[in-house]
Structure 1
């Protein structure tokens, strides 16, 4: 696997704004072997420094942990020095791509020219799994256990997924593992794009083994609009993992509409309008915003 060389990357954020990076993990791979790894805590940029309880509950990083850490403007140079022009690999790498773009924009830094490859897309292509979270894929490939949502561990896990799938498929270089049409260098693939709607047959199935006491278990959820914290497809997958049924339209079976526009002052969508109509007839259906959804999602 002489051509399997890249840097895997993972970010954690303080809140649902992509510019609020509070940790980064980087793992360097050369010829299919992990050769180096670094991880840094980051003090979020001014205006993005609030640590939301949902995020803290996920990664455990607080404002106290980063008080004396460098901010994005000081960490960006060393980070890019470590990357050294490599293609960047990550699980749902559209998130990492947007963190870099938004943090650079907030810092007045130019957008870098980088090539991105997604292990989530790779796993979907080569594995048949009920769910494709980083933990699910690591388990399916029987890779070493890791501390999920630790940026350093997540980056290494993403690297090992790419290496293992390259080995299983006999790929000698990245172009074989990720054909040109599947790259995210020029633009994010439509699957992760704003406004992308899955076909009904592609919607994730509810996990029957999820915690039955969780707030999303047994719910039937529709997403209206695009979330700030994650692509809609990732929110759908995460909800299904916690036992929710995912729908594309507001019907009499729907119990919860997640409205991204609710906290932005936008006009109600047709899905939200229909939800209010059904609620007026006595149906048990609620409309919530992104922040409330993230709080429900954080419940394991």
Structure 2
């Protein structure tokens, strides 16, 4: 597939802090084919360098494995030399790019300049009907071999294979054209700014982002009163695989009232940007922070991933049990 050139990227972390990078992997794609892979272990930035058992159980990397390895600063430089000016692609790029930014902050480095796409965002748009859109599930659906999950270079190679398959299905030859065809835009990291890979809707707004002009839908007064969203107030934060207007419309159809911000009336907060439900990993936005403060004060407010919201809408997921933190089992 001549012209499909990019570098897939993946990181593994030592603990729940995203910047605690202990491994970096890349897969270089030229003309739609894997041209090479690179895998580096590194010592996480010193303020974030402790290893937690949960993370070790996932990827098998221990403090002894990285003790004699170069620092994150050094390994990131090697990865950036390989990337050059090519677009970067990751599966759940919101996590991997946040890891780079936080790691740079911990090391006192300027953020690198990257254009990036997200195969999690794109697979949600292109592959309907999957139970979830995690890397193993998407790889299996597209017949992309996955042999060493959570080895950074292996995961980067699988991510690369996913984009090659998705682009091939559309007959598209560049990452930029694929983003346009799927109604998304590439994310960007710069010296002091970043924006996510997300759905493009509406015109360009302030701060270099895209502002989606929302129309408040009419709440369905004939909705099933037993539906878990009926009578609720739904708020959205972050980028999703569908437009925010679509989420508002679905909520209203179920009898809920969409709202732009978290208030004392809010009952559900839908979180995008690849959020998987793990609030312990330092994942936060202004609205998430507000929601957590209100929950601490006793307000019942459920924080949902995009997939959990979809499952509630379709009746495939029951609401959380009263008094139980919905994030605890995610």
The answer to whether the superposition gives a TM-score over 0.5 is yes
- What is the correspondence of 1:214-293 to structure 2 with a 5 Å cutoff? 233-236=274-277, 268-270=293-295, 273-275=298-300, 285-287=323-325, 293=328
**Aligned pair in 2 of structure 1 residues 234, 201: CA closer, same or farther (>3 Å)?**
farther
Question: Are 1:275 and 1:287, in contact at CA under 8 Å, matched by a contact in 2?
Answer: no
**Aligned pair in 2 of structure 1 residues 202, 90: CA closer, same or farther (>3 Å)?**
farther
Question: Are 2:237 and 2:269, in contact at CA under 8 Å, matched by a contact in 1?
Answer: no
Aligned to 1:286, the other structure's residue is in SS state coil
**Aligned pair in 2 of structure 1 residues 233, 176: CA closer, same or farther (>3 Å)?**
closer
> Aligned partners of 1:156 and 1:46: how far apart in 2?
29
What residue in structure 1 maps to residue 237 of structure 2? 195
Q: Which runs of 5+ in 2 are unaligned?
A: 189-193, 200-208, 210-235, 252-266, 302-320
Question: Are 2:10 and 2:26, in contact at CA under 8 Å, matched by a contact in 1?
Answer: yes
* Residue 50 (1) aligns with residue 50 (2): yes
Question: Are 1:3 and 1:174, in contact at CA under 8 Å, matched by a contact in 2?
Answer: no
What residue in structure 1 maps to residue 163 of structure 2? 162
**Aligned pair in 2 of structure 1 residues 189, 7: CA closer, same or farther (>3 Å)?**
closer
* Residue 183 (1) aligns with residue 208 (2): no
- What is the correspondence of 1:53-202 to structure 2 with a 5 Å cutoff? 53-128=53-128, 129-179=130-180, 181-185=184-188, 187-189=195-197, 195-196=237-238, 199=247
* Residue 13 (1) aligns with residue 54 (2): no
Kindly state the Cα deviation for residue 120 of structure 1 after the two structures are TM-superposed. 0.9
RMSD over aligned CA atoms reads 3.4
Kindly state the Cα deviation for residue 232 of structure 1 after the two structures are TM-superposed. 7.0
Kindly state the Cα deviation for residue 225 of structure 1 after the two structures are TM-superposed. 9.9
Kindly state the Cα deviation for residue 42 of structure 1 after the two structures are TM-superposed. 1.1
Aligned to 2:140, the other structure's residue is in SS state helix
Count of matched residue pairs: 241
What residue in structure 1 maps to residue 32 of structure 2? 32
- Scaled by the length of structure 1, the TM-score of the pair is 0.70
Question: Are 1:224 and 1:272, in contact at CA under 8 Å, matched by a contact in 2?
Answer: no
> Aligned partners of 2:158 and 2:11: how far apart in 1?
13
> Aligned partners of 1:115 and 1:232: how far apart in 2?
16
> Aligned partners of 1:120 and 1:132: how far apart in 2?
6
